[in-house]
Amino acid sequence: MPNLDLYQEEFHPSPLVHTWLEFRKSHIAVLGLWLLAFFIVLVILGPLIAPFDPLLQNPNAFLVQPAWDASGSIRYLFGTDSLGRDLLSRLIYGCRMTLGISLLLVVISMLIGIALGAIAGMTRGVRSSVLNHLLDSLMAVPTLLIAIVIVGILGIGLVNSMWAICLALVPQVVHNTREVVRAEMQKEYVLASKLDGAKKFHLFFYCVLPNMYEMLVVQGTMALSIAILDISALGFLGLGAQPPSPELGVMLSEGLREAYKSPWLIALPGSAIFLMVLAVNVVGDGLRSALRNRLQN
């Protein structure tokens, strides 16, 4: 196989493309990406694909077995739950909720985190130092715990749990942003810009930020997997989304009641969460390896 280096003169891949090429080398990572893409498609196209309304109860079809069981029917591909709601539709909407909300939370928390981290990284002084140290100790506290604390204060419910997780994700983003910003600020090209008379704002957006993309992507994938696990954990504990919402964690805790007769009720939602998180983690791993390899070459 021809060495890519031979063509370096004619072929200068941009950092992004280079990363993608490195990423592609790992088959597992690509598989993960496909899986993730599948879920994202579900998020977008969900309502169009789902055969039934996820909240629709059918009193004549309680606890129907999945289609591959002798007593099942193709009408309800994955069977129904104790209130006669189609499991496939609920799963689709559930993935939609869990993944969709997680993406939203990650985006919001990253925006807030980057803003705060940039300010923290570019300013100096005792005040910022103290704030930094406090944030650092906050970072030591697991996101789920922070989320539980916030839900404990604000009360139970989906919206509150969303705020909780969003706020819980911020300290990590702030810390990493701050570190990167600080490191970049020491570098010579930034110094050069400064000498040219660039203001802080300009410095950030044109010098530092473009170099942060990688860190952001890595940070984003980590935050996403944490967000998915936390949202479903809160749903499972009854602190977040509430029944009859088709959120995957809620479905898992509801399905416990009939787990003997219909193990699908907990096997499927649980697998869905697992696969989503697995996809995100595998892609994240792949990205980090790709970035590392790119920097080494």
Q: Which residues bind other proteins (CB under 8 A)?
A: 28, 59, 62-63, 82, 130, 133-134, 137, 140-142, 144-145, 148-149, 151-153, 155-156, 176, 179, 218, 225, 229, 232-233, 236-239, 249, 252, 256-261, 263, 266, 270, 273-274, 277-278, 281-282, 285, 288
**Residue whose structure tokens are 């701050």:** 178
DSSP string, 15-46: HHHHHHHHHHT-HHHHHHHHHHHHHHHHHHHH
Nearer to other proteins, 108 or 237 (CB): 237
Nearer to other proteins, 75 or 261 (CB): 261
Nearer to other proteins, 190 or 276 (CB): 276
Encoded amino acid at 125, one letter? G
**Residue whose structure tokens are 């990406």:** 33
For residue 32, the minimal CB distance to other proteins (Å) is: 9
Q: What is the largest CA-CA distance in the chain?
A: 77
Q: How many CB atoms lie within 10 A of CB 110?
A: 20
For residue 274, the minimal CB distance to other proteins (Å) is: 6
For residue 13, the minimal CB distance to other proteins (Å) is: 23
For residue 118, the minimal CB distance to other proteins (Å) is: 18
**What b/e sequence results for 188-199 when a residue is b if at least 16 CB atoms lie within 10 Å of its CB, and e otherwise?**
eebeebeeeeee
Nearer to other proteins, 177 or 203 (CB): 177
Residue 97 dihedral angles phi and psi, to the nearest 5°: -65, -55
Nearer to other proteins, 79 or 249 (CB): 249
Q: Are 111 and 177 in contact (CB under 8 A)?
A: no
For residue 145, the minimal CB distance to other proteins (Å) is: 5
Q: Report the sign of the C-alpha dihedral through residues 16, 21, 24, 25, in that order.
A: negative
Nearer to other proteins, 93 or 264 (CB): 264
What the block records as the tokens of 222 is: 């980590």
Query: Cα separation of 74 and 91, whole Å?
Result: 16
What the block records as the tokens of 265 is: 């009720």
For residue 21, the minimal CB distance to other proteins (Å) is: 18
For residue 151, the minimal CB distance to other proteins (Å) is: 7
